Homo-oligomer: A and B are copies of this chain.
Amino acid sequence: MTDEIVAFGERLGAVFAAYGRLCVGIDPHASLLSAWGYDDSAAGAREFGLRTVDAAAGLAGIVKPQVAFFERHGAAGYAALERVLAEARDADLLVIADAKRGDIGTSVDAYGEAWLRPGSSLEADAMTISAFQGLGSIESVMTSAERWGKGLFVLAATSNPEAAAIQRAVLTQSSREGATVAGAIAAGVTSWNQGRPDAADREFGSIGLVIGATVDLAASGIDVHGDVPRPGLPVLAPGFGHQGGEVRDLKHVFGALSGGVIVSESRSLLSAGPDGLADAIARRIDEIGAVDV
């Protein structure tokens, strides 16, 4: 290794300081491809992704490709995604692959290697992941991510109304008896970050959560009062913009977690079209930067 590995949480802190907390989604959905004048094809998804990277570079610090819209085009879509990921990383953007993968054992390890291993053709800086098979089922990926200077965002509480039944279900066994599913995942991730040898020196941990911008966190069993966790907890928060979350409510909604919130927006920016996107991103960064977090 010639490059020193810098922990994902440290890189995230540097990006917040330099560019703010906006994350630009790369969602080559069929209707957006059409609105941008591209074919609904792997080549269209590639051009859409490259144009979005160009528009974001130097303005925003973070991009989030939605993997599903590339996977929809099969191997050709993955070749397009590889190109977009490489361009984004070359442009010094922090890249979160929104893959929501999950499995156990060697299978989940293989997903970690696909998206996070340095040198992988699909290498990103972080990925979203699901712990439906238990937080313990993804612990080996947390360990690999940490070793590689990469990050994970574990699904915890999402904005869609049909998610509440499962995410607010109450644990009746395990050491977190009485916690909700979302609360237990949040507590487990926080505790894992705190257990790293140099945790006290870190601004942010390398493992974070996905929490929707319009979620009622108290009802979800995630405590956002009291002290700010150390290291800080990265929170990928979709649902601002198009889905109705307001950045001015960020501190109220996320409380002690607000310092780690990544404001993720896709449709509300991408609908500006290829020619208006850079302006839309710059304007949004100013709006978000003007809010006290």
Contact assessment for B74 and A114 in the assembled complex, using a CB-CB cutoff below 8 Å: yes
Q: For residue A131, which residues in chain B have a CB less than 8 angstroms away from its CB?
A: 132, 166
Q: What 1/0 mask marks residues of chain A from 118 to 151 whose CB sits below 8 Å from any chain B CB?
A: 0011100000001111111100000000000000
Q: Contacts A134-B165, A135-B162, A168-B172 given: A74-B82 contact, CB under 8 Å?
A: yes
Contact assessment for B181 and A162 in the assembled complex, using a CB-CB cutoff below 8 Å: no
How far apart sit A104 and B72, CA to CA, in the bound complex (Å)? Answer: 15
Instruction: Sort chain A's interface into a size bin.
Output: 35 or more
Whether a CB of chain B sits under 8 angstroms from the CB of A224 is: no
- Which residues of A approach B to under 8 Å, CB–CB? 27, 29, 66, 68-69, 71-76, 78-79, 81-82, 98, 100-108, 110-111, 113-114, 120-122, 130-137, 155, 158, 160-174, 176, 180-181, 184
In the assembled complex, how far is the CB of residue A28 from the closest CB belonging to chain B, in whole angstroms?
Answer: 10
Contact assessment for B133 and A71 in the assembled complex, using a CB-CB cutoff below 8 Å: no
Contact assessment for B68 and A111 in the assembled complex, using a CB-CB cutoff below 8 Å: yes
Of B68, B130, B158, the contact of A130 (CB 8 Å cutoff)? B130
Which 10 pairs across A and B sit closest by C-beta, in order of nearness?
A: A136-B162, A134-B162, A74-B121, A165-B174, A75-B78, A169-B169, A68-B110, A75-B79, A72-B110, A132-B132
Contact assessment for A137 and B162 in the assembled complex, using a CB-CB cutoff below 8 Å: yes
Contact assessment for A169 and B181 in the assembled complex, using a CB-CB cutoff below 8 Å: yes
Q: For residue A171, which residues in chain B have a CB less than 8 angstroms away from its CB?
A: 165-166, 168-169
In the assembled complex, how far is the CB of residue A97 from the closest CB belonging to chain B, in whole angstroms?
Answer: 11
Residue of B at shortest CB range from A103? B100
Contact assessment for A172 and B174 in the assembled complex, using a CB-CB cutoff below 8 Å: no
Q: For residue A72, which residues in chain B have a CB less than 8 angstroms away from its CB?
A: 110-111, 113-114, 120
Contact assessment for B76 and A121 in the assembled complex, using a CB-CB cutoff below 8 Å: yes
Q: Contacts A69-B110, A107-B66 given: A160-B134 contact, CB under 8 Å?
A: yes
Q: For residue A74, which residues in chain B have a CB less than 8 angstroms away from its CB?
A: 78, 82, 114, 120-122
Q: Contacts A155-B132, A166-B181, A168-B172 given: A105-B71 contact, CB under 8 Å?
A: no
Contact assessment for B166 and A134 in the assembled complex, using a CB-CB cutoff below 8 Å: yes
How far apart sit A170 and B76, CA to CA, in the bound complex (Å)? Answer: 42
Contact assessment for A162 and B184 in the assembled complex, using a CB-CB cutoff below 8 Å: no
In the assembled complex, how far is the CB of residue A192 from the closest CB belonging to chain B, in whole angstroms?
Answer: 13
Q: Could you show 22 A-B contacts with beta carbons less than 8 Å apart?
A: A68-B101, A68-B111, A69-B107, A69-B110, A71-B111, A72-B120, A74-B122, A75-B78, A75-B79, A100-B101, A100-B102, A104-B163, A131-B132, A133-B167, A134-B162, A134-B164, A137-B162, A164-B173, A166-B184, A169-B171, A169-B180, A169-B181
How far apart sit A105 and B25, CA to CA, in the bound complex (Å)? Answer: 15
Residue of B at shortest CB range from A78? B75
Instruction: Give me 18 other A-B pairs in contact (C-beta within 8 A), A68-B108, A74-B82, A169-B181 excluded.
Output: A29-B110, A66-B107, A66-B110, A73-B121, A74-B78, A75-B76, A75-B78, A130-B130, A132-B166, A134-B161, A136-B161, A137-B163, A164-B174, A165-B171, A165-B174, A166-B171, A170-B170, A181-B181
